[in-house]
A and B are shown apart, each in its own frame.
Chain A
Amino acid sequence: MNTGLNLHKLDPLSKLVALFSVALLAMYWDTPAPLLLLLTLLLVLARYGAGIGWLKLLGRMGYIILFALPLFVITAISVPGEGAQLFPGLSISAGAVSYAAAISLRMFCMFLSSVIYIWSTDPQDFVVIMANRLKLPYRLVYGVSMALAFLPLLEKEGRIQAQARKLRFGRAPRGLRERAMLRRESLVAVFSGAIRRVEQTAGAMEAKGFGAYSSRTYLREVRIERSGYVIMLTSLIFASVMMMF
């Protein structure tokens, strides 16, 4: 994709600023038309800027419909009518539908822009730039790295614990009570296992010099290039201009 804009190459901070600008705009508008335009723009960006395949995009959009559709229906029903009644008997007005559509589109925009961000950003780069550029204390920022590393481990641990319980239990549980007990016990086991690991992990980290100095160096280099500053500025200016008119 040589469209001139490769989002993967952009630093996480500039992208974050752009993301928040999009969010501000999406929240500012409450009519469908501009939001639809924004969504189209985001779709194009997702496909050609971040390189997400159409199929994948469709899947993600399908997921968010599960949330957006109920929101649409409920908003359409509960918003007091302005304008013509669409269905006689049901108090759904054209105004309400338009507002509901805007709200749902807003949700799409927020979600899609986030998908683009996640897709094109390595979390570790995010951590590095937070510590390096924003000068946040690295020990705290590393909490994010750890949490992201724990995530798949915890999930795996949860799966394995549940399996281990079943295996050790050695027979089919009878009734809801036994089932609930098994479920609860494996949840407790995963959680206390995680807590137990905290001290060991902290010890191992300090043994490797975590917290030795107030700063540290980084093997990966994450720099904000000129294009990053351009993106930041453009998105901010664009958002403010749009909101002024």
Chain B
Amino acid sequence: MKIGAKDKLLQEELNTVESESAAEEALRLERVGYRYKADSKPVLDEITFSLKPGEWVTIAGPSGCGKSTLARILVGDLPRAGGGLRTGEVMVNGIDPADAKIADTARTIGLVFQDPDAQLVLGRVEDEVAFGPENLCLPPELIRRQVAAALEAAGLEERRRDSIAELSGGGRQRTAIASVLALETPILVLDEAASNLDAAGRKRLQELLQRLHRQGRTLLVVTGRLDELALAATRLIVLDEDGHLVQDGSSDALLREERPLLRQLGLLPAELRVRATGGGSPNMEPPAAPLLEISGLTFQYGRNAPAVLEDVSLKLQPGEWHLLTGDNGSGKTTLSRLLLGLLPLPPGSIFWQGHDIAGISLYKLAEEIGYVFQQPEQQFVTANVMEELLYEPRCQLRLRAKDDLPKQVIQRAEEVLQLLGLSLEQDASPYLLSGGKKRLLSAASVFMTGKKLIILDEPTAGADYLGAGRLSALCRKAVQEGTSILMITHEPEFFAGEYTIRWHLENGRLNRT
């Protein structure tokens, strides 16, 4: 058959690409620098390193140091898309991604971008995963095999026919991973690809990487923290805040000898603090009605859909800090959205200070409850980092955008920026911050006015330990001032030193742990 012959040719071509390059370096960077605008300060500075085929390397660095920028340079997305300026030399399997043909890059290197939503383009999971191999003209049988393997590796077999808009945050991230895996490129780059995954998902990803490593694929894991997944790599490359390469060596050796540096960069957790004292102790004087009460809540999307939540009950008092954990797709985001009536809510199941939430308007609730979305971009309302923090105080004081704010508000905003390490970026657009900083900013902005309850949906995903520590300090301070916090997270260990009440959501049921 004619088509079959063409496919075979392509396949052979692909094989030769792989075998030719096997001898050389998989990746070589020579004094690479990058600036997003010709007149701005470089994000990356004189980065030089190379990778042998089959190496498994972690690139770590604090939030905003240019890791994602580097990853995008490797696939040629930068400078093609951004219009920035790249200096130095980049070779990926012998080609320069900046001016290589699309086909050559796509067959050589695959990148899971940091933001899952920006890389999903087709409506359904299976179509999305098949997208890459189809573009490369692989024969349908081969595509079917690769898609099945990728779906299996990402734990998505059962959701292959689902619409992407209906997946949970972690589900979308898995889809993004699977869609790149299906390309089966010799080099694979993962940019914070585990940030929204549950513990099992991470473990699974780690095992997958081990398997790919054994198959001889070159792996590059980009991360802001050296957790188990990151340290599974044999080699570690460390960048500092200014985008310089400061360490390059075996993970074990660096971990042994450079602990202080790694800790200072926020790549390792600080020493465990003793349990915070004062404030936050839950049983001071139980008031008549709890701040928030959920009783017997059952919820399903659509009449024929399975129940996401079943008979969920919870009580929350002022000044308490609750942590909510659960697997991807277990319904955490759903539950948090129900608490504000953002989804159609059965009456008589959630009470705010003794009143049924179904009868309270969102505006009314928003006066007292702050909410941080799982996707930070969704809640930015201004074009400037500082303004983002000032927005809520301004609205509360009924001031227009031009009016001056009271001194203490500005001062508080500056303090928060300082605390988050965002002072330098205070005039930047929130949308152009790095992934981790976006998340910190979105979380911090709700702490600007005195709310009674703050709900945060995975605020530490993709943040480094420094950022997580800063956020944790912000929360601790709020709790001491009497605010309650309900935090959804896959990383409860970040808050190990705090007084927290923990809940776990499993199979639709909520249990205290």
Contact = CB atoms under 8 A, between A and B. Distances in A.
Contacts of B380: 189
B103 interface: yes
Contacts of A44: none
B135 A148 contact: no
A145 B366 contact: no
A218 B134 contact: yes
Contacts of B105: 207
Interface string A194-215: 0011011111111111111101
Contact of B119 (A204, A216, A221): A204
A124 interface: yes
A187 B143 CA distance: 40
Contacts of A200: 81, 113, 115, 118-119
Contacts of B391: 168
B362 A167 contact: yes
Interface SS majority for chain B: helix
Contacts of A145: 121-123, 127
Contact of A163 (B80, B180, B362): B362
Contacts of A203: 72, 77, 80-81
A154 to B, nearest CB: 10
Nearest to B102: A212
Interface in B350-388: 361-364, 366-367, 369-371, 373, 377-381
A33 interface: no
B111 interface: yes
A170 B450 CA distance: 11
B488 to A, nearest CB: 16
Interface string A136-163: 0000000001101100110011001101
A244 interface: no
Contacts of B133: 217, 219
B363 A209 contact: no
Contacts of A180: none
Given A152-B165, A167-B379, A208-B131, A217 B140 contact: yes
B140 A209 contact: no
A210 B179 CA distance: 13
Nearest to B10: A213
Contact of B138 (A123, A196, A205, A217): A217
B392 interface: yes
Looking at A152, A157, A217, the one whose CB has the most chain B CB atoms below 10 A away is: A217
A219 B134 CA distance: 7
B121 A167 contact: no
Interface SS majority for chain A: helix
B468 interface: no
B101 A171 contact: no
Contacts of A166: 362-363, 366
B130 interface: yes
Residues of A in contact with B, size category: 35 or more
A165 interface: yes
Interface in B120-173: 120-124, 126-127, 130-140, 143-144, 147, 163-165
Looking at A148, A152, A170, A200, the one whose CB has the most chain B CB atoms below 10 A away is: A170
Contact of A171 (B72, B144, B165, B367): B367
Interface residues of B, number: 73
Contacts of B378: 157, 160-161, 164
Interface in A163-189: 163-174, 185, 189
B106 interface: yes
Nearest to A162: B362
B75 interface: yes
A163 B337 CA distance: 10
Contacts of B163: 152
A203 B75 CA distance: 9
B431 interface: yes
Given A124-B123, A203-B80, A209 B392 contact: no
A149 B122 contact: yes
A172 B364 contact: yes
Contacts of A70: none
A185 B431 CA distance: 16
Nearest to B109: A207
Given A157-B378, A172-B364, A217 B137 contact: yes
A212 B101 contact: yes
Contacts of B396: 170-171
A210 B102 contact: yes
B137 A213 contact: yes
Nearest to B372: A167
A146 B121 contact: yes
B130 to A, nearest CB: 4
B143 A219 contact: yes
A219 B123 contact: no
A168 B95 CA distance: 47
Contact of A173 (B111, B132, B363): B363
Contacts of B75: 207
A193 interface: yes
A209 B122 contact: no
Contacts of A165: 381
Contact of B132 (A123, A172, A209): A209
Interface string A209-236: 1111101111101000000000000000
A211 B81 CA distance: 15
B342 interface: yes
Contacts of B431: 196
Nearest to B111: A207
Nearest to B342: A163
A168 B392 contact: yes
Given A171-B396, A209-B103, A199 B81 contact: yes
Contacts of B119: 200-201, 204
A56 B72 CA distance: 48
Contacts of A170: 366-367, 392, 395-396, 449
A165 B380 CA distance: 9
Looking at A156, A166, A167, the one whose CB has the most chain B CB atoms below 10 A away is: A167
13 contacts: A123-B123, A149-B121, A149-B122, A167-B371, A171-B363, A197-B117, A205-B121, A208-B132, A212-B102, A213-B136, A216-B134, A218-B134, A219-B143
Interface of A: 123-124, 145-146, 148-149, 152-153, 156-157, 160-161, 163-174, 185, 189, 193, 196-197, 199-213, 215-219, 221
Given A124-B122, A161-B378, 11 more contacts: A148-B123, A166-B362, A168-B391, A171-B367, A201-B118, A203-B77, A204-B118, A208-B135, A216-B136, A219-B127, A219-B147
Interface of B: 7, 72, 75-77, 80-82, 101-103, 105-107, 110-111, 113, 115, 117-124, 126-127, 130-140, 143-144, 147, 163-165, 179-180, 183, 340, 342, 361-364, 366-367, 369-371, 373, 377-381, 391-392, 395-396, 398, 431, 445, 449
